[in-house]
């Protein structure tokens, strides 16, 4: 049997130690919350997607405004076996920190919403988000009618570069030869995403 006695100085030390531990835990929790709020694009992969507002928030984190009136959802199946085309498509999806590799053979929701700022009279650009059980598993931009697929980070960088070039000449314009090309791929054949 153990016997533990607490004297007034010992009780004061235990209380002070407990108070310090609570303050430290509160500080760490606040730091984590503020750091997460400062980087919405990185936190987007960890958020739950259950409404169209969540989808708008996801793409806003990458700098894209969407028209929620055009939101549409389909169920598609990620193929179990990938060819080179789908592997290239997954690399474009991977640009946003997501991957379809763990979802082979699974049915996912395919949300599409129009991105008016990237659309013109001839082509429309749609933000596409693939969701599995309220968890984002893939995101990309789809150009219609051409079918070109672009990664979110490349498109956001290209948009920022275009905005900087259109701004008054307060800074020297970057040389186009120095910039890497945006990573794009052809959209995977719709037969790879059979509707169930």
Which 3-state string (H, E, C) describes the chain? CCCCCCCHHHHHHHHHHHHHHHHHHHHHHHHHHHHHHHCHHHHHHHCCCCCHHHHHHHHHCCCCCCEEEEEEEEEEECCCCCCHHHHHHHHHHHCCCCCCHHHCCCEEEEEEEECHHHCCCCCEEEEEEEEECCEEEEEEEEEECCCEEECHHHHHHHHHHHHHHHCCCCCCCCCHHHCCCCCEEECCCHHHCCCC
Position 17 confidence tier, pLDDT thresholds 50, 70, 90: low
The pLDDT, as a whole number, for residue 191 is: 46
Residue 21 has pLDDT above 60, yes or no: no
> What tens digit of pLDDT does each residue of 36-73 get?
433 334 434 457 888 889 999 999 888 889 999 999 99
The pLDDT, as a whole number, for residue 176 is: 47
Residue 20 has pLDDT above 90, yes or no: no
Assess contact for 149 and 142: CB atoms under 8 A.
Answer: yes
Residue 30 has pLDDT above 90, yes or no: no
Report yes or no on whether pTM surpasses 0.85: no
Least confident of 135-139, 158-162, 172-176: 172-176
The pLDDT, as a whole number, for residue 24 is: 53
Least confident of 148-152, 178-182, 188-192: 178-182
Look at the block and give the residue holding tokens 């708008």. Answer: 56
Assess contact for 59 and 129: CB atoms under 8 A.
Answer: yes
Position 120 confidence tier, pLDDT thresholds 50, 70, 90: confident
Residue 166 has pLDDT above 60, yes or no: yes
The pLDDT, as a whole number, for residue 45 is: 46
d(CA 118, CA 48): 26
Average pLDDT, the chain: 74
The pLDDT, as a whole number, for residue 71 is: 92
> What tens digit of pLDDT does each residue of 122-148 get?
899 999 999 999 899 999 999 988 888
Termini Cα distance of the chain: 66
d(CA 23, CA 37): 21
Token pair in block for residue 89: 């498509």
The pLDDT, as a whole number, for residue 2 is: 58
């Amino acid at each position: 049997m153990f016997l533990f006695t607490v004297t007034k100085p010992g009780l004061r030390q235990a209380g002070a130690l407990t108070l310090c531990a609570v303050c430290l835990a509160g500080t760490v929790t606040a730091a984590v919350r503020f750091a997460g709020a400062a980087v919405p694009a990185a936190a987007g992969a960890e958020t739950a997607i259950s409404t169209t507002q969540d989808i708008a928030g996801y793409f806003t984190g990458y700098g894209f405004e969407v028209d929620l009136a055009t939101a549409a959802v389909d169920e598609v199946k990620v193929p179990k076996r990938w060819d080179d085309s789908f592997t290239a498509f997954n690399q474009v999806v991977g640009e946003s920190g997501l991957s379809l590799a763990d979802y082979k053979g699974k049915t996912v929701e395919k949300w599409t919403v129009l991105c008016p700022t990237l659309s013109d009279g001839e082509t429309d650009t749609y933000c596409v988000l693939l969701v599995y059980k309220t968890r984002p598993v893939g995101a990309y931009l789809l150009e219609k009618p051409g079918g070109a697929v672009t990664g979110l980070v490349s498109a956001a960088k290209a948009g920022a570069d275009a905005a900087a070039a259109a701004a008054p000449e307060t800074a020297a314009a970057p040389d186009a030869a120095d910039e890497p090309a945006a990573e794009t791929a052809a959209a995977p054949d719709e037969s790879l995403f059979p509707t169930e």
